[in-house]
Amino acid sequence: MTKLNIALLFGGPSSEHEISCATAAGVMGAINREKYNLIPVGITKAGEWIVAEDDASKWALRKGNLATVEPNGTKVEFDGSGELFATNEAGVRSSLGVIDLVFPVLHGPYGEDGTLQRELEAVGVAYVGNGVSASERGMDKELSKDAFLAAGVPATPHVVIKLDDWLSDPESALEKVRNLGPLPLFVKPARAGSSKGVSKVKSMTDFSSAVETAFKEDNKLVVECGVEGREVEVAVLEGRNGGAPRVSVAGEIIVTGRDFYDFDAKYQDEDSVQLVVPAIISAAELQEMQALAAKAFDALGCEGLARADFFLTENGFLINEINTMPGFTPLSMFPSLWAASGIDYPDLIDELIELARAK
């Protein structure tokens, strides 16, 4: 059997660079080497593509000193016909092979907002996951919430503030925020992930500093009213042969000792978080959640994969967001949900590759 050449892209210029490296480690350690030739390509924080080590232990998530892609004198680029080339420090150029498929596991801006997807399409290379449009809308909390509401999927109440408006007329922005309802509020960059730049505001005296933190990540932010409810998630896979999206069992995130599920809780302080898979919800609630997730997936025009995050309140479900390239380490929620639904991690990688090749 001829092996497929799979280029694994990871790292990138976003503030989620290190998490992308950890996701890449998961894929490196689990992908079926009898079926695929894996060609790891790291992207530095400056945006340089380099030849990366095929060593899962180097890139794995660890406490404290997280792995990063550093320049190593190599340069990687496509030639326009699907062939990938590397140039070494001496200027010698060599082929890494004709790439059958790119598996991009970048999180945040550039990797998850449609930019990388547009670059891959420009050189005519097929890739795993969501396309340009779904990536753009999924990354932008304003656009995605608008799409959810238009499709009849209840979403968290929110207002949008742009940097120019905040600088020129903060009082008008504050008036919109006051109309959201009582505290607490969550202030979030509109186009960031892994809870980067997110603050929970319990007093309006802290609102300006929360806004400042969010604007460090993006020039547009979303303010959401705090929701009383359980944090529950499902994983979604594109349907086969034009079929309906497939949705996993639900999982629940239970946070203790922290105000919310922030970056450190996700990646550095596992003792503060309990991931319950499957979540303890009724069959009717699971069915409703799966239906809403499939509708949200279709509303954004998603392909390949996504994770849909909800709040389960006393009045029902509210969708918080869809993540179009969810965390993909073996212990992340997305693969854990599919494992509980009958698809283990190596088979999940196979499924994503097959979905991409079928496009």
Q: What is the domain-level CATH number for residue 319?
A: 3.30.470.20
**Same domain (yes/no): 184, 280:** no
**What pLDDT was estimated at residue 268?**
43
Q: How far is CA 173 from the centre of its chain?
A: 28
**Same domain (yes/no): 141, 198:** no
> Distance between CA 358 and CA 225 in Å, rounded?
41
Record the tokens describing residue 265, joined without a space: 């809780």
> Distance between CA 104 and CA 239 in Å, rounded?
20
**Same domain (yes/no): 319, 246:** yes
The answer to whether position 290 is within a domain reads yes
**Same domain (yes/no): 195, 100:** no
The answer to whether position 10 is within a domain reads yes
**Same domain (yes/no): 207, 236:** no
Neighbours of 283 (CB within 10 A): 7
Apex 348 CA angle, 40 and 124, nearest 5:
50
**Same domain (yes/no): 293, 205:** no
**Same domain (yes/no): 210, 250:** no
**Same domain (yes/no): 258, 200:** no
- Could you tell me which residues come within 8 angstroms of residue 2 by beta carbon, excluding any fewer than 6 positions away? none
**What pLDDT was estimated at residue 61?**
84
- Each residue of 136-157: pLDDT tens digit? 999 999 999 999 999 999 998 8
pTM exceeds 0.85 for this model: yes
The total domain count for the chain is 3
The answer to whether position 167 is within a domain reads yes
**Same domain (yes/no): 169, 147:** no
Apex 181 CA angle, 201 and 222, nearest 5:
55
CATH number where 172 lies: 3.30.1490.20
Taking the alpha carbons of 313, 316, 318, 324 in that order, is the dihedral positive or negative? positive
**What pLDDT was estimated at residue 266?**
47
User: What percentage of the chain has pLDDT greater than the value 90?
Assistant: 82
8 Å CB contact between 180 and 157: yes
> Distance between CA 35 and CA 33 in Å, rounded?
5
The answer to whether position 256 is within a domain reads yes
8 Å CB contact between 267 and 273: no
> Distance between CA 175 and CA 276 in Å, rounded?
39
- Could you tell me which residues come within 8 angstroms of residue 262 by beta carbon, excluding any fewer than 6 positions away? 195, 198
Where does a domain end: 225, 241, 271? 225
> Distance between CA 165 and CA 25 in Å, rounded?
41
**What pLDDT was estimated at residue 341?**
98
Taking the alpha carbons of 108, 111, 112, 116 in that order, is the dihedral positive or negative? positive
**Same domain (yes/no): 56, 195:** no
> Distance between CA 81 and CA 79 in Å, rounded?
6
Where does a domain end: 80, 108, 127? 127
**Same domain (yes/no): 122, 270:** no
The answer to whether position 268 is within a domain reads yes
> Distance between CA 25 and CA 330 in Å, rounded?
9
**Same domain (yes/no): 256, 148:** yes
CATH number where 15 lies: 3.40.50.20
The answer to whether position 301 is within a domain reads yes
Angle at which helix 132-139 crosses helix 115-122, to 10 degrees, equals 170
Three state DSSP letters for the chain: CCCEEEEEEEECCCCCHHHHHHHHHHHHHHCCCCCEEEEEEEECCCCCEEECCCCHHHHCCCCCCCCCCCCCCCEEEECCCCEEEEECCCCCEEEEEECCEEEECCCCCCCCCCHHHHHHHHCCCCECCCCHHHHHHHHCHHHHHHHHHHCCCCECCEEEEEHHHHHHCHHHHHHHHHCCCCCCEEEEECCCCCCCCCEEECCHHHHHHHHHHHHCCCCEEEEEECCCCEEEEEEEECCHHHCCCEEEEEEEEEECCCCCCCHHHHHCCHHHEEEECCCCCCHHHHHHHHHHHHHHHHHCCCCCEEEEEEEEECCEEEEEEEECCCCCCCCCHHHHHHHHCCCCHHHHHHHHHHHHHCC
The answer to whether position 132 is within a domain reads no
**What pLDDT was estimated at residue 262?**
43
The answer to whether position 289 is within a domain reads yes
Taking 70 as the pLDDT cut, the residues of the chain under it are: 1, 64, 193-195, 257-272
Where does a domain end: 182, 204, 225? 225
> Distance between CA 261 and CA 122 in Å, rounded?
37
Look up the domain containing 173 and give its range.
Answer: 158-225
